Amino acid sequence: MSFETPKRALLWGGATSASQYEGGSDMVGKGPDTQDVRPFRPRTSKATTETRLLTKSMVSEALNSEFDGNYPFRRGSEGISHCEEDIALLEELGIDIYRFSISWARLYPTGHEYNPSPDGVAYYDKVFRLVRKAGMRVFLTLTHYAMPIDLVLSDGGWLNRSTIDCYLRFAEFVFSRWGNYIDYYLPFNEINAGYFSPWNGVGLLKPEDGPYDQSKVFQSLHNQFVASARVIQLQRRIAPDCKSGCMVADFCYYANTPAPEDNLRLIKDEQINQWLAIDVLARGFYPSYTARFFDEHGIKVRMGENDLELLAQNTCDFVSISYYQSSVVSCDDNGPQTAGNLVCSTVNPYLASSEWGWQIDPIGLRTALNVLYDRVQKPIFVAEGGLGARDSMVFDEGEKRVHDPYRIKYLAKHFEQVIEAQKDGVGVLGYIVWGIIDIVSAGSCEMEKRYGVIYVDADNEGNGSYERTHKDSFWWYKRFIQDYHQKAQATIKEQD
Protein backbone atom coordinates (compact mmCIF):
# COMPACT_ATOMS: atom_id res chain seq x y z
CA MET A 1 0.00 0.00 0.00
CA SER A 2 1.41 3.38 -0.95
CA PHE A 3 0.81 6.70 0.75
CA GLU A 4 2.38 8.55 -2.16
CA THR A 5 0.04 11.28 -3.45
CA PRO A 6 -0.76 10.66 -7.09
CA LYS A 7 1.05 13.51 -8.83
CA ARG A 8 -0.31 15.25 -11.83
CA ALA A 9 0.73 18.56 -13.24
CA LEU A 10 -1.50 21.38 -12.12
CA LEU A 11 -3.38 23.31 -14.77
CA TRP A 12 -2.91 27.07 -14.91
CA GLY A 13 -5.70 29.03 -16.46
CA GLY A 14 -7.53 32.24 -17.05
CA ALA A 15 -11.22 33.09 -16.83
CA THR A 16 -13.85 35.51 -18.01
CA SER A 17 -17.62 35.48 -17.85
CA ALA A 18 -19.95 36.31 -20.72
CA SER A 19 -21.74 39.25 -19.11
CA GLN A 20 -18.55 40.87 -17.83
CA TYR A 21 -16.58 40.32 -21.02
CA GLU A 22 -18.66 40.06 -24.17
CA GLY A 23 -20.70 43.25 -24.51
CA GLY A 24 -22.75 43.26 -27.70
CA SER A 25 -26.01 43.40 -25.81
CA ASP A 26 -27.59 45.16 -28.78
CA MET A 27 -26.62 42.48 -31.26
CA VAL A 28 -29.29 40.70 -33.24
CA GLY A 29 -30.71 37.77 -31.37
CA LYS A 30 -29.50 38.73 -27.88
CA GLY A 31 -32.18 39.35 -25.26
CA PRO A 32 -31.59 41.58 -22.24
CA ASP A 33 -30.34 39.71 -19.21
CA THR A 34 -30.07 40.30 -15.49
CA GLN A 35 -26.64 41.91 -15.79
CA ASP A 36 -27.52 44.28 -18.64
CA VAL A 37 -29.77 46.20 -16.25
CA ARG A 38 -27.20 46.78 -13.50
CA PRO A 39 -26.07 50.41 -13.49
CA PHE A 40 -22.66 51.79 -12.63
CA ARG A 41 -22.70 54.13 -9.62
CA PRO A 42 -19.63 56.03 -8.46
CA ARG A 43 -18.17 54.23 -5.48
CA THR A 44 -19.80 54.87 -2.11
CA SER A 45 -20.38 52.36 0.63
CA LYS A 46 -23.94 51.86 -0.62
CA ALA A 47 -23.16 51.67 -4.34
CA THR A 48 -22.32 47.97 -4.43
CA THR A 49 -25.42 46.90 -2.56
CA GLU A 50 -27.70 49.09 -4.65
CA THR A 51 -26.36 47.82 -7.93
CA ARG A 52 -26.31 44.20 -6.82
CA LEU A 53 -29.80 43.90 -5.32
CA LEU A 54 -32.21 45.20 -7.92
CA THR A 55 -35.82 46.18 -7.38
CA LYS A 56 -38.56 46.15 -10.02
CA SER A 57 -38.43 49.92 -10.44
CA MET A 58 -34.67 49.85 -11.04
CA VAL A 59 -35.13 47.16 -13.66
CA SER A 60 -37.91 49.10 -15.45
CA GLU A 61 -35.77 52.24 -15.44
CA ALA A 62 -32.88 50.28 -16.94
CA LEU A 63 -34.97 48.64 -19.63
CA ASN A 64 -36.34 52.04 -20.69
CA SER A 65 -32.90 53.62 -20.77
CA GLU A 66 -31.53 54.54 -24.17
CA PHE A 67 -28.21 55.67 -22.72
CA ASP A 68 -25.99 52.65 -22.35
CA GLY A 69 -22.97 54.35 -20.76
CA ASN A 70 -24.33 53.76 -17.28
CA TYR A 71 -24.89 50.05 -17.87
CA PRO A 72 -21.38 48.66 -18.21
CA PHE A 73 -22.34 45.03 -18.77
CA ARG A 74 -23.96 46.01 -22.05
CA ARG A 75 -20.47 46.83 -23.28
CA GLY A 76 -18.30 44.47 -21.20
CA SER A 77 -14.76 44.56 -22.57
CA GLU A 78 -16.13 44.51 -26.10
CA GLY A 79 -15.14 40.86 -26.12
CA ILE A 80 -17.34 39.91 -29.06
CA SER A 81 -15.51 42.20 -31.43
CA HIS A 82 -12.09 41.29 -29.95
CA CYS A 83 -12.51 37.56 -29.48
CA GLU A 84 -10.01 36.43 -32.15
CA GLU A 85 -7.38 38.79 -30.78
CA ASP A 86 -8.11 37.82 -27.17
CA ILE A 87 -7.87 34.08 -27.76
CA ALA A 88 -4.62 34.65 -29.66
CA LEU A 89 -3.34 36.58 -26.61
CA LEU A 90 -4.32 33.72 -24.31
CA GLU A 91 -2.49 31.32 -26.60
CA GLU A 92 0.56 33.56 -26.45
CA LEU A 93 0.24 33.58 -22.66
CA GLY A 94 0.34 29.78 -22.72
CA ILE A 95 -2.45 28.99 -20.26
CA ASP A 96 -3.54 25.37 -20.07
CA ILE A 97 -7.22 26.02 -19.61
CA TYR A 98 -9.66 28.82 -20.38
CA ARG A 99 -12.77 29.27 -18.28
CA PHE A 100 -15.62 31.19 -19.90
CA SER A 101 -19.37 31.19 -19.78
CA ILE A 102 -22.18 31.20 -22.29
CA SER A 103 -24.71 33.98 -22.29
CA TRP A 104 -28.05 32.22 -21.92
CA ALA A 105 -29.87 35.24 -23.38
CA ARG A 106 -27.60 35.32 -26.45
CA LEU A 107 -28.83 31.83 -27.31
CA TYR A 108 -32.36 32.08 -25.92
CA PRO A 109 -33.31 35.80 -25.82
CA THR A 110 -36.26 35.38 -23.47
CA GLY A 111 -35.37 31.96 -22.15
CA HIS A 112 -38.69 30.55 -23.40
CA GLU A 113 -37.68 29.77 -26.99
CA TYR A 114 -37.39 26.23 -28.24
CA ASN A 115 -34.61 26.95 -30.71
CA PRO A 116 -31.49 29.02 -30.12
CA SER A 117 -30.64 32.22 -31.96
CA PRO A 118 -28.45 31.47 -35.02
CA ASP A 119 -26.21 34.50 -34.35
CA GLY A 120 -25.52 33.34 -30.84
CA VAL A 121 -24.75 29.83 -32.02
CA ALA A 122 -22.39 31.17 -34.68
CA TYR A 123 -20.52 33.24 -32.09
CA TYR A 124 -19.95 30.33 -29.71
CA ASP A 125 -19.09 27.99 -32.60
CA LYS A 126 -16.27 30.38 -33.32
CA VAL A 127 -15.15 30.67 -29.68
CA PHE A 128 -15.02 26.91 -29.09
CA ARG A 129 -13.19 26.39 -32.38
CA LEU A 130 -10.60 29.07 -31.63
CA VAL A 131 -9.98 27.88 -28.08
CA ARG A 132 -9.50 24.31 -29.27
CA LYS A 133 -7.19 25.47 -32.07
CA ALA A 134 -5.15 27.42 -29.53
CA GLY A 135 -4.60 24.16 -27.61
CA MET A 136 -6.38 25.21 -24.42
CA ARG A 137 -8.73 23.03 -22.45
CA VAL A 138 -12.23 24.33 -21.89
CA PHE A 139 -13.73 24.97 -18.48
CA LEU A 140 -17.27 26.09 -19.18
CA THR A 141 -19.64 27.85 -16.83
CA LEU A 142 -23.14 27.36 -18.16
CA THR A 143 -24.51 30.34 -16.29
CA HIS A 144 -22.41 32.97 -14.64
CA TYR A 145 -24.91 35.23 -12.86
CA ALA A 146 -26.77 36.30 -16.02
CA MET A 147 -30.17 34.96 -17.03
CA PRO A 148 -32.73 36.28 -19.55
CA ILE A 149 -34.60 39.12 -17.86
CA ASP A 150 -37.88 37.80 -19.18
CA LEU A 151 -37.53 34.70 -17.05
CA VAL A 152 -37.33 36.99 -14.03
CA LEU A 153 -40.09 39.43 -14.93
CA SER A 154 -42.63 36.95 -16.21
CA ASP A 155 -41.71 33.78 -14.36
CA GLY A 156 -40.05 34.91 -11.12
CA GLY A 157 -36.52 33.68 -11.86
CA TRP A 158 -35.28 30.58 -10.07
CA LEU A 159 -38.15 30.74 -7.61
CA ASN A 160 -40.29 29.20 -10.30
CA ARG A 161 -39.64 25.54 -11.01
CA SER A 162 -40.53 26.06 -14.65
CA THR A 163 -37.19 27.88 -15.01
CA ILE A 164 -35.52 24.47 -14.59
CA ASP A 165 -37.08 23.28 -17.86
CA CYS A 166 -35.99 26.39 -19.77
CA TYR A 167 -32.50 25.95 -18.37
CA LEU A 168 -32.39 22.28 -19.35
CA ARG A 169 -33.31 23.17 -22.94
CA PHE A 170 -30.41 25.58 -23.00
CA ALA A 171 -28.05 23.03 -21.41
CA GLU A 172 -29.15 20.27 -23.74
CA PHE A 173 -28.34 22.40 -26.73
CA VAL A 174 -24.91 23.31 -25.32
CA PHE A 175 -23.92 19.70 -24.66
CA SER A 176 -25.23 18.36 -27.93
CA ARG A 177 -23.48 21.04 -29.96
CA TRP A 178 -20.29 21.69 -28.00
CA GLY A 179 -20.00 18.72 -25.65
CA ASN A 180 -16.95 17.47 -27.53
CA TYR A 181 -15.07 20.64 -26.72
CA ILE A 182 -15.84 20.78 -23.02
CA ASP A 183 -13.41 19.30 -20.50
CA TYR A 184 -14.86 20.62 -17.24
CA TYR A 185 -18.06 22.52 -16.59
CA LEU A 186 -20.16 24.13 -13.90
CA PRO A 187 -23.93 24.36 -14.08
CA PHE A 188 -23.70 27.58 -11.99
CA ASN A 189 -21.03 30.03 -10.98
CA GLU A 190 -20.62 30.39 -7.18
CA ILE A 191 -23.95 28.82 -6.38
CA ASN A 192 -23.83 30.11 -2.78
CA ALA A 193 -24.03 33.66 -4.21
CA GLY A 194 -27.78 33.09 -4.44
CA TYR A 195 -27.84 33.53 -0.70
CA PHE A 196 -25.79 36.76 -0.50
CA SER A 197 -26.67 38.27 -3.79
CA PRO A 198 -30.07 36.92 -4.84
CA TRP A 199 -30.36 39.10 -7.94
CA ASN A 200 -27.13 37.82 -9.44
CA GLY A 201 -27.39 34.33 -8.05
CA VAL A 202 -31.02 33.31 -8.44
CA GLY A 203 -32.68 36.16 -10.36
CA LEU A 204 -34.85 37.37 -7.48
CA LEU A 205 -36.13 40.94 -7.43
CA LYS A 206 -35.55 42.73 -4.16
CA PRO A 207 -38.75 44.06 -2.56
CA GLU A 208 -38.87 47.89 -2.93
CA ASP A 209 -38.93 48.25 0.85
CA GLY A 210 -37.35 45.74 3.11
CA PRO A 211 -35.23 42.65 2.81
CA TYR A 212 -35.61 39.47 0.80
CA ASP A 213 -37.94 36.74 2.01
CA GLN A 214 -35.52 33.96 3.00
CA SER A 215 -37.97 31.21 2.07
CA LYS A 216 -37.90 32.53 -1.50
CA VAL A 217 -34.12 32.66 -1.49
CA PHE A 218 -33.71 29.06 -0.30
CA GLN A 219 -36.53 27.81 -2.53
CA SER A 220 -34.71 29.34 -5.51
CA LEU A 221 -31.46 27.77 -4.39
CA HIS A 222 -33.15 24.41 -4.05
CA ASN A 223 -34.45 24.75 -7.60
CA GLN A 224 -30.89 25.44 -8.76
CA PHE A 225 -29.66 22.36 -6.88
CA VAL A 226 -32.26 20.29 -8.71
CA ALA A 227 -31.30 21.94 -12.01
CA SER A 228 -27.62 21.10 -11.36
CA ALA A 229 -28.42 17.45 -10.74
CA ARG A 230 -30.64 17.26 -13.81
CA VAL A 231 -27.99 18.87 -15.99
CA ILE A 232 -25.43 16.36 -14.77
CA GLN A 233 -27.85 13.54 -15.52
CA LEU A 234 -28.44 14.92 -19.01
CA GLN A 235 -24.74 15.58 -19.72
CA ARG A 236 -23.79 12.06 -18.68
CA ARG A 237 -26.20 10.80 -21.31
CA ILE A 238 -25.22 13.07 -24.21
CA ALA A 239 -21.63 14.17 -23.49
CA PRO A 240 -20.23 11.57 -21.10
CA ASP A 241 -16.61 12.72 -21.32
CA CYS A 242 -17.21 16.14 -19.75
CA LYS A 243 -16.44 16.44 -16.05
CA SER A 244 -19.18 18.05 -13.97
CA GLY A 245 -18.50 20.35 -11.06
CA CYS A 246 -20.06 22.61 -8.51
CA MET A 247 -18.66 25.86 -7.22
CA VAL A 248 -18.90 28.03 -4.15
CA ALA A 249 -17.23 31.24 -3.10
CA ASP A 250 -14.89 30.13 -0.31
CA PHE A 251 -14.48 32.59 2.55
CA CYS A 252 -11.88 30.73 4.62
CA TYR A 253 -13.28 31.77 7.98
CA TYR A 254 -11.19 32.34 11.09
CA ALA A 255 -12.64 32.91 14.56
CA ASN A 256 -11.80 36.36 15.90
CA THR A 257 -10.81 34.99 19.31
CA PRO A 258 -10.45 31.55 20.90
CA ALA A 259 -13.67 32.23 22.82
CA PRO A 260 -15.96 29.18 22.41
CA GLU A 261 -18.76 31.50 21.23
CA ASP A 262 -16.62 32.82 18.38
CA ASN A 263 -15.62 29.32 17.39
CA LEU A 264 -19.22 28.12 17.35
CA ARG A 265 -20.21 31.14 15.28
CA LEU A 266 -17.46 30.24 12.82
CA ILE A 267 -18.78 26.70 12.41
CA LYS A 268 -22.35 27.91 12.00
CA ASP A 269 -21.44 30.57 9.44
CA GLU A 270 -19.38 28.09 7.49
CA GLN A 271 -22.17 25.54 7.41
CA ILE A 272 -24.74 27.78 5.81
CA ASN A 273 -22.56 30.20 3.86
CA GLN A 274 -20.13 27.74 2.42
CA TRP A 275 -20.90 24.07 2.98
CA LEU A 276 -24.62 23.78 2.36
CA ALA A 277 -24.32 23.89 -1.43
CA ILE A 278 -21.22 21.69 -1.45
CA ASP A 279 -22.89 19.11 0.79
CA VAL A 280 -25.95 18.96 -1.41
CA LEU A 281 -24.17 18.93 -4.76
CA ALA A 282 -20.99 17.02 -4.06
CA ARG A 283 -22.11 14.72 -1.25
CA GLY A 284 -25.71 14.36 -2.39
CA PHE A 285 -27.76 15.29 0.65
CA TYR A 286 -29.14 18.18 2.67
CA PRO A 287 -26.92 18.11 5.77
CA SER A 288 -28.46 17.72 9.21
CA TYR A 289 -27.62 21.30 10.28
CA THR A 290 -30.05 22.68 7.68
CA ALA A 291 -33.16 21.70 9.65
CA ARG A 292 -32.46 23.88 12.66
CA PHE A 293 -31.34 26.82 10.51
CA PHE A 294 -34.51 26.67 8.42
CA ASP A 295 -36.64 26.30 11.54
CA GLU A 296 -35.10 29.22 13.38
CA HIS A 297 -35.37 31.48 10.35
CA GLY A 298 -38.90 30.47 9.39
CA ILE A 299 -37.64 29.11 6.06
CA LYS A 300 -39.92 26.75 4.20
CA VAL A 301 -38.72 24.94 1.08
CA ARG A 302 -41.08 22.85 -1.03
CA MET A 303 -39.41 19.85 -2.61
CA GLY A 304 -40.58 17.63 -5.43
CA GLU A 305 -41.27 14.02 -4.61
CA ASN A 306 -38.07 12.71 -6.21
CA ASP A 307 -35.76 15.65 -5.56
CA LEU A 308 -33.75 14.08 -2.77
CA GLU A 309 -33.22 10.90 -4.72
CA LEU A 310 -32.20 12.88 -7.79
CA LEU A 311 -29.65 14.86 -5.74
CA ALA A 312 -28.26 11.71 -4.17
CA GLN A 313 -27.80 10.02 -7.53
CA ASN A 314 -26.28 12.88 -9.50
CA THR A 315 -23.44 14.33 -7.50
CA CYS A 316 -20.72 16.18 -9.37
CA ASP A 317 -17.28 14.84 -10.35
CA PHE A 318 -15.23 17.70 -8.92
CA VAL A 319 -15.71 20.74 -6.71
CA SER A 320 -14.43 24.23 -7.21
CA ILE A 321 -14.06 27.46 -5.32
CA SER A 322 -13.40 31.08 -5.91
CA TYR A 323 -10.89 32.33 -3.42
CA TYR A 324 -9.92 35.96 -3.06
CA GLN A 325 -9.56 36.57 0.65
CA SER A 326 -10.05 35.05 4.07
CA SER A 327 -12.62 36.31 6.57
CA VAL A 328 -12.95 36.64 10.31
CA VAL A 329 -16.13 35.95 12.25
CA SER A 330 -16.88 37.35 15.63
CA CYS A 331 -19.79 37.44 18.04
CA ASP A 332 -18.97 41.09 18.60
CA ASP A 333 -20.79 42.86 15.78
CA ASN A 334 -19.22 46.19 16.69
CA GLY A 335 -15.65 45.31 15.71
CA PRO A 336 -14.06 46.99 12.68
CA GLN A 337 -15.42 45.55 9.43
CA THR A 338 -14.01 45.29 5.96
CA ALA A 339 -15.35 44.21 2.57
CA GLY A 340 -14.75 40.93 0.79
CA ASN A 341 -16.17 38.89 -2.03
CA LEU A 342 -19.92 38.69 -1.27
CA VAL A 343 -19.46 38.89 2.50
CA CYS A 344 -18.06 41.42 4.95
CA SER A 345 -15.52 40.41 7.54
CA THR A 346 -14.11 41.56 10.83
CA VAL A 347 -10.70 43.10 10.16
CA ASN A 348 -7.77 40.69 10.52
CA PRO A 349 -4.82 42.66 11.92
CA TYR A 350 -2.36 40.13 10.49
CA LEU A 351 -3.30 40.74 6.88
CA ALA A 352 -2.97 43.51 4.33
CA SER A 353 -5.97 44.35 2.18
CA SER A 354 -6.57 45.24 -1.44
CA GLU A 355 -7.74 48.74 -2.24
CA TRP A 356 -11.28 47.36 -2.05
CA GLY A 357 -10.72 46.03 1.46
CA TRP A 358 -10.41 42.33 0.55
CA GLN A 359 -7.94 40.76 2.98
CA ILE A 360 -5.04 39.12 1.14
CA ASP A 361 -4.18 35.70 2.53
CA PRO A 362 -2.26 33.18 0.40
CA ILE A 363 -1.87 30.71 3.30
CA GLY A 364 -5.64 30.86 3.69
CA LEU A 365 -5.91 29.32 0.24
CA ARG A 366 -3.85 26.31 1.29
CA THR A 367 -5.97 26.01 4.42
CA ALA A 368 -9.19 26.27 2.41
CA LEU A 369 -8.06 23.57 -0.01
CA ASN A 370 -7.08 21.21 2.81
CA VAL A 371 -10.35 21.71 4.66
CA LEU A 372 -12.47 21.26 1.55
CA TYR A 373 -10.62 18.15 0.42
CA ASP A 374 -10.98 16.59 3.86
CA ARG A 375 -14.72 17.18 3.59
CA VAL A 376 -15.48 16.01 0.05
CA GLN A 377 -12.54 13.88 -1.13
CA LYS A 378 -13.15 14.98 -4.69
CA PRO A 379 -10.76 16.79 -7.04
CA ILE A 380 -10.77 20.55 -6.57
CA PHE A 381 -10.28 23.44 -8.94
CA VAL A 382 -9.53 26.95 -7.79
CA ALA A 383 -11.87 28.21 -10.48
CA GLU A 384 -11.21 31.87 -9.64
CA GLY A 385 -8.70 33.95 -7.81
CA GLY A 386 -6.71 37.10 -8.31
CA LEU A 387 -6.18 40.68 -7.25
CA GLY A 388 -8.59 43.46 -8.17
CA ALA A 389 -6.48 46.59 -8.44
CA ARG A 390 -6.35 49.94 -10.17
CA ASP A 391 -3.72 49.87 -12.96
CA SER A 392 -2.32 52.64 -15.08
CA MET A 393 -1.02 52.46 -18.56
CA VAL A 394 2.23 54.35 -19.10
CA PHE A 395 4.56 55.00 -22.02
CA ASP A 396 8.06 53.56 -21.60
CA GLU A 397 10.47 54.16 -24.43
CA GLY A 398 7.53 54.78 -26.73
CA GLU A 399 5.82 51.48 -25.77
CA LYS A 400 2.57 51.14 -23.84
CA ARG A 401 3.15 49.32 -20.57
CA VAL A 402 1.31 48.46 -17.38
CA HIS A 403 3.56 47.85 -14.38
CA ASP A 404 1.65 45.71 -11.88
CA PRO A 405 4.14 44.24 -9.39
CA TYR A 406 1.36 43.97 -6.76
CA ARG A 407 -0.54 41.51 -8.98
CA ILE A 408 2.59 39.46 -9.67
CA LYS A 409 3.25 39.27 -5.95
CA TYR A 410 -0.33 38.24 -5.20
CA LEU A 411 -0.37 35.51 -7.84
CA ALA A 412 3.11 34.19 -7.01
CA LYS A 413 2.22 33.82 -3.33
CA HIS A 414 -1.10 32.13 -4.07
CA PHE A 415 0.38 29.75 -6.66
CA GLU A 416 3.00 28.73 -4.13
CA GLN A 417 0.27 27.74 -1.68
CA VAL A 418 -1.63 25.73 -4.30
CA ILE A 419 1.55 23.77 -4.94
CA GLU A 420 1.99 23.29 -1.19
CA ALA A 421 -1.60 22.09 -0.90
CA GLN A 422 -0.93 19.49 -3.56
CA LYS A 423 2.08 18.35 -1.54
CA ASP A 424 -0.24 18.13 1.49
CA GLY A 425 -2.14 15.49 -0.46
CA VAL A 426 -5.01 17.66 -1.65
CA GLY A 427 -6.35 16.54 -5.03
CA VAL A 428 -6.09 20.00 -6.52
CA LEU A 429 -6.41 20.21 -10.31
CA GLY A 430 -5.38 23.77 -11.00
CA TYR A 431 -5.76 27.50 -10.46
CA ILE A 432 -7.61 29.79 -12.83
CA VAL A 433 -6.79 33.48 -12.74
CA TRP A 434 -9.95 35.52 -12.67
CA GLY A 435 -10.62 38.24 -15.26
CA ILE A 436 -7.47 37.30 -17.18
CA ILE A 437 -8.40 40.03 -19.62
CA ASP A 438 -9.73 43.11 -17.78
CA ILE A 439 -13.50 42.90 -17.46
CA VAL A 440 -16.30 44.74 -15.68
CA SER A 441 -16.38 44.02 -11.94
CA ALA A 442 -19.34 41.86 -10.95
CA GLY A 443 -19.63 43.37 -7.49
CA SER A 444 -19.35 47.05 -8.22
CA CYS A 445 -19.88 47.32 -12.00
CA GLU A 446 -16.56 49.13 -12.39
CA MET A 447 -14.04 48.73 -15.17
CA GLU A 448 -11.32 50.18 -12.99
CA LYS A 449 -11.21 47.23 -10.63
CA ARG A 450 -8.96 45.13 -12.80
CA TYR A 451 -7.78 41.54 -12.40
CA GLY A 452 -6.26 40.91 -15.81
CA VAL A 453 -2.79 40.27 -17.08
CA ILE A 454 -4.12 41.87 -20.26
CA TYR A 455 -5.11 45.51 -19.95
CA VAL A 456 -8.22 46.85 -21.67
CA ASP A 457 -8.26 50.57 -22.33
CA ALA A 458 -11.68 51.55 -20.96
CA ASP A 459 -12.96 53.45 -17.94
CA ASN A 460 -15.98 53.20 -15.68
CA GLU A 461 -18.09 55.29 -18.03
CA GLY A 462 -17.22 53.19 -21.07
CA ASN A 463 -14.76 55.73 -22.55
CA GLY A 464 -11.62 54.42 -24.17
CA SER A 465 -10.31 52.57 -27.21
CA TYR A 466 -10.77 49.07 -25.72
CA GLU A 467 -7.31 48.31 -27.04
CA ARG A 468 -5.46 45.43 -25.38
CA THR A 469 -1.98 45.80 -23.80
CA HIS A 470 0.22 43.18 -22.15
CA LYS A 471 0.80 43.99 -18.47
CA ASP A 472 4.06 43.03 -16.75
CA SER A 473 2.08 40.24 -15.06
CA PHE A 474 1.41 38.77 -18.52
CA TRP A 475 5.11 38.12 -19.09
CA TRP A 476 5.53 36.90 -15.52
CA TYR A 477 2.61 34.45 -15.77
CA LYS A 478 3.79 33.16 -19.16
CA ARG A 479 7.22 32.44 -17.72
CA PHE A 480 5.77 30.89 -14.59
CA ILE A 481 3.68 28.42 -16.61
CA GLN A 482 6.63 27.44 -18.80
CA ASP A 483 8.95 26.91 -15.83
CA TYR A 484 6.30 25.06 -13.86
CA HIS A 485 5.62 22.55 -16.62
CA GLN A 486 9.28 21.97 -17.28
CA LYS A 487 9.86 21.17 -13.62
CA ALA A 488 6.64 19.16 -13.28
CA GLN A 489 7.55 16.99 -16.25
CA ALA A 490 10.95 16.26 -14.78
CA THR A 491 9.42 15.36 -11.39
CA ILE A 492 6.74 13.15 -12.88
CA LYS A 493 9.40 11.31 -14.95
CA GLU A 494 11.47 10.78 -11.82
CA GLN A 495 8.47 9.28 -10.02
CA ASP A 496 7.64 6.88 -12.90
Q: Which residues are marked as active site? A: 190, 384
Minimum distance, C-beta of residue 482 to ligand BG6, in the bound complex (Å)? 27
Minimum distance, C-beta of residue 15 to ligand BG6, in the bound complex (Å)? 8
Biggest CA pair distance of the chain? 68
Contact segment (CB under 6 A) with ligand BG6 among 72-80, 86-94, 401-409, 439-447 equals 439-447
Q: Which of residues 388, 427, 430, 462 is near ligand BG6 by CB under 6 A?
A: 388
Q: Does 346 bind ligand BG6 (CB under 6 A)?
A: no
Pick the closer one to ligand BG6 by CB: 311 or 437: 437
Minimum distance, C-beta of residue 53 to ligand BG6, in the bound complex (Å)? 14
Strand duo 11-15 + 428-433: pairing:
parallel
Minimum distance, C-beta of residue 340 to ligand BG6, in the bound complex (Å)? 10
The whole-angstrom separation of Cα 471 and Cα 170 is: 37
Q: Does 17 bind ligand BG6 (CB under 6 A)?
A: yes
Contact 473, 407 (CB under 8 A): yes
Contact 322, 341 (CB under 8 A): yes
Rg value, the chain, Cα: 21
Contacts of 422 (CB under 8 A, 6+ apart): 5, 7, 10, 428
* Window 116-145: residues binding ligand BG6 (CB under 6 A): none
Contact 146, 76 (CB under 8 A): no
Contact segment (CB under 6 A) with ligand BG6 among 24-32, 330-338, 441-449, 454-462 equals 441-449
Cα dist. 292→191, 282, 296 in Å? 21, 21, 6
Residue number of the CB atom closest to ligand BG6 = 443
Minimum distance, C-beta of residue 140 to ligand BG6, in the bound complex (Å)? 14
Q: Does 190 bind ligand BG6 (CB under 6 A)?
A: yes
Q: Does 322 bind ligand BG6 (CB under 6 A)?
A: yes
* Amino acid sitting at position 278: I
User: How close are the terminal C-alpha atoms of the chain, in Å?
Assistant: 16
Minimum distance, C-beta of residue 144 to ligand BG6, in the bound complex (Å)? 6
Q: Does 443 bind ligand BG6 (CB under 6 A)?
A: yes
Q: Does 438 bind ligand BG6 (CB under 6 A)?
A: no
The whole-angstrom separation of Cα 140 and Cα 25 is: 20
Pick the closer one to ligand BG6 by CB: 80 or 442: 442
Minimum distance, C-beta of residue 91 to ligand BG6, in the bound complex (Å)? 23
Pick the closer one to ligand BG6 by CB: 191 or 408: 191
Other residues' Cβ atoms within 10 Å of the Cβ of residue 81: 14
Tell me the backbone φ, ψ of residue 384, rounded to 5 degrees.
Answer: -155, 140
Q: Does 449 bind ligand BG6 (CB under 6 A)?
A: yes
- Nearest C-alpha neighbor of 72 from the set 475, 461, 361: 461
Contact segment (CB under 6 A) with ligand BG6 among 80-88, 210-218, 271-279, 436-444 equals 436-444
Site string for ligand BG6, 231-260 (x = CB under 6 A): ------------------x-----------
Contact segment (CB under 6 A) with ligand BG6 among 57-65, 112-120, 404-412, 435-443 equals 435-443
Contact 414, 385 (CB under 8 A): yes
Residue count, binding to ligand BG6 (CB under 6 A): 15
Q: Which of residues 320, 441, 460, 473 is near ligand BG6 by CB under 6 A?
A: 441
Q: Does 384 bind ligand BG6 (CB under 6 A)?
A: yes
- Nearest C-alpha neighbor of 134 from the set 100, 102, 93, 174: 93
Q: Does 262 bind ligand BG6 (CB under 6 A)?
A: no
Alpha helices, DSSP H, located in 299-439: 307-313, 362-376, 405-424
Contacts of 155 (CB under 8 A, 6+ apart): 111, 162, 163, 166
User: What is the DSSP code (8-state) at residue 275?
Assistant: I
Binding residues for ligand BG6, per CB under 6 A? 17, 20, 189-190, 249, 322, 341, 384, 388, 434, 441-444, 449
